[in-house]
Amino acid sequence: MIKLGREKKPRLGTMEKKRSEKINNLIAICFLILSNIIVFLLIKDKLLFTPDFGESDAYHFNLSLKYFLADSLKKGVFPFWTDSFQAGFPIFSEGQIGSLFIPNIFFLSWLPFYHGYNCLLVFSLLCLSIGYYLLLKRLQVRPILAFLFSLIFSFNGAISLRWVHLNLIQSFSLSPLLFVLLIDYFSKKRPVYLIAFIFVASQMILAGHSQTAFIVFFGISVWLTFSFIAKKNPFPSLIRSVFAIIMAFWVSLGQILPTLILISQSERQATLDYNTVTSFPFNWSQLISFFAPYQFGNPKLGGYAPFSSNWGIFWENTPFLGSLATVITVIAIISFFRSNRRAKKDALISLVSFGLFTLLALGKNSPLYFVFGFFPFNLFRTPSKYLLMAVFFIVIFFAISLEDFFRKLKNSWIRTAVIFCLILNLASLVFFVFDYHLYINKDLVLSAPEIVEAMDDRLYISVGQPATWNKIFIKNGWSKKNDIDRYLFYKNYLYPNSNLITNKKSFSVNTGAFKLRRLSYLEALIVSGIRSTDNQIKVAKEVIPLFNLTNLGQIISGSKIESPRFKLVKKLTGRGDEIFLYRYDGVSDNHYYIPKHIDNISYLNEFSDKVTKGEVSTLNSVVEKAGLESYVNGGRYRIDKSSCGETACLIKGWFAEKTFLAFKKNYYPEWSVYIDGKKQPFFKTNLINMGVFVPPGTHTISLQYENRYFKMGLLLSAVGWVFLAILIKLKIF
């Protein structure tokens, strides 16, 4: 019998709902991929060159490090140590190069550099957007809202303005996925999610921005604490989460142990004083930056105040959420107060977490100022980086509140209007980021500046770029072609780390964190002797002998050098600026020396006194060895063969009597000296070099960089994975 009239459609079954949800998720993820492909197409033949105070963090730091990593990987060499900085620097140990981060290895090994570098940024944005989409879906936000808010999150100012620090973006890009994996682990009780969490968290650490990793882990801890606080027994879940984070550090020991050794040799210790920790904070007045990015000026137009210990940097302190963020905020707040219990609980957790991280971003301006005197909050400076997690949580609050708003709303026209508002807001963020950043043709960025043609292979020191650069940056910004051309002309300063792109060796290094304190002290002595007065530079005679300790034989400056010992090799003129290259020919390019006289010192002030008196050189050297009396190298010797690379030096020769020989390599605990294959003690010589006593006769002396702590870390990492497997096998996790 056929029923007349309108039949009711059958309800979708559970399987059909799941199938429909999977299709919606697949469509959303495909559109997220497409969105990021469009970003890549917009920048594919360009490279980021956004200026900053005194330099471009994009060009002089991240791009240069990644260029060096790409070059090393393509040559089949792992970059543990390089002579391109400070006469030798443990670049792997410093960590920010991200040598063990899998996307770096993949994209930089197989693609041309400019494509690989841009792919790293786009891949990070893709991880952010897809991870955030999946997180919002876990929080029961519908696909269209999850899609739009994931893109709004990916392009907000706290993230997009930090494109200049690629390693930070890479670390933070994995944060949403960590939340997703924890939610899946606690809901499905399957160890595979815990294993995945540990692996992804370790990759976050290995990406090379430890402060970001700490902030994310702290954010996870806050979120878990608030989420479990209503449970009767939240401690097992919290303990498992803490264990997973500890395991992430354990399996990252291949990077962490070498970094700890560098910290022990660094001028910057692990913990910092209060004033340093709270420098460059967010300010209460800058809360308006969530909605109005240029309220305090636009650095692109030269209208933003110079940073200070009480005023942060534009790209650190502008968490812009979009031009229509105020409308979204109003709707979200109204919906929050009218939401059901479940939605209100999740939204409240996000809102409280947002408030906590905003207070932390305020640093010394916050009621929570006192926490920065305690570990682990005193490990890092620039509190405004906590804005990353503040934005992470406020966008979740928006998404959950609007989802509840949509559930109760029957009027489809209002829904459409809200979605249109979100699309316009997203468009404003995309326009904002591409209008702010400076992208330049890849060939202009990667081409060697003119000054390189006149340089030799010895180390150089660059003097004067920050002051010259800031005259343009602070007043003009980078909105005009003339100013952009001047920034490109300043490439001739070879300000570190841009020397990595041109394969030149800088006496300085740009790390933002850890520098070898012995080299930094020596650099400070030399720089203090290069005095600028009345647009001229004079080099103090007492520091000139120090040039030979590191083969420092060139000076790049913005002023003339008045000294007969320094020969003008090249003068460049561009748009009213002048850059000079001077050469000091009193420096040999040998990688070793045999001093005539060796004296013993015990304290740093003894070294300084001897430098002032002109008593430190490759002929008259000082050694740090208790009980050693003055020694004279008076015997005959003959060097039959010598060679030296980045991580190994070899000398073969005959010595008539016991002879002290020094290598022009920076002292570092990872070096070992062998004579005829037998390991020998070596001594800190002239503050930075390494010396060894060679017995009479014919001998082979070798200096080798051995990566002991990297190998130890890899072994411990493997043990960590085995330990985890045992715990899972025993069903403890």
What is the rounded distance in angstroms from the CA atom of residue 608 to the CA atom of residue 616?
9
- Percentage of the chain lying above the pLDDT 70 cut: 97
What is the rounded distance in angstroms from the CA atom of residue 51 to the CA atom of residue 473?
7
Cβ–Cβ under 8 Å, residues 693 and 658: yes
What is the rounded distance in angstroms from the CA atom of residue 98 to the CA atom of residue 208?
5
Which residues are within 8 A (CB) of 163 and not within 5 positions of it... i.e. 6 or more apart? 48, 50, 58, 121, 169, 433, 437
For residue 400, give both structure tokens: 């959950």
**Which CA distances in Å does 454 have to 458, 492, 570, 583?**
12, 11, 7, 10
**Which CA distances in Å does 294 have to 32, 504, 614?**
28, 39, 53
* Positions of the chain with pLDDT lower than 50, given as ranges: 1-8, 12
Beta strand pairing call for 683-685 and 689-694: antiparallel
**Which CA distances in Å does 24 have to 15, 16, 252?**
14, 12, 37
Reported residue count of the chain is: 733
Angle value at C-alpha 116, between 114 and 122, nearest 5 degrees? 105
For residue 557, give both structure tokens: 């400056």
What is the rounded distance in angstroms from the CA atom of residue 449 to the CA atom of residue 34?
37
pTM: 0.93
pLDDT of residue 17: 66
pLDDT of residue 632: 85
Cβ–Cβ under 8 Å, residues 20 and 12: yes
Taking alpha carbons only, the member of 173, 129, 111 closest to residue 28 is 129
pLDDT of residue 7: 43
Buried b (16+ CB within 10 A) or exposed e, 318-341: bbbbbbbbebbbebbeebbeebee
- Residue that is written with structure tokens 């520091």 in the block: 543
What is the rounded distance in angstroms from the CA atom of residue 315 to the CA atom of residue 303?
14
pLDDT of residue 534: 67
Three-class secondary structure of residue 382 per DSSP: coil
Buried b (16+ CB within 10 A) or exposed e, 583-597: bbeebeeebbbbbeb
Taking alpha carbons only, the member of 133, 152, 131 closest to residue 143 is 133
pLDDT of residue 4: 36
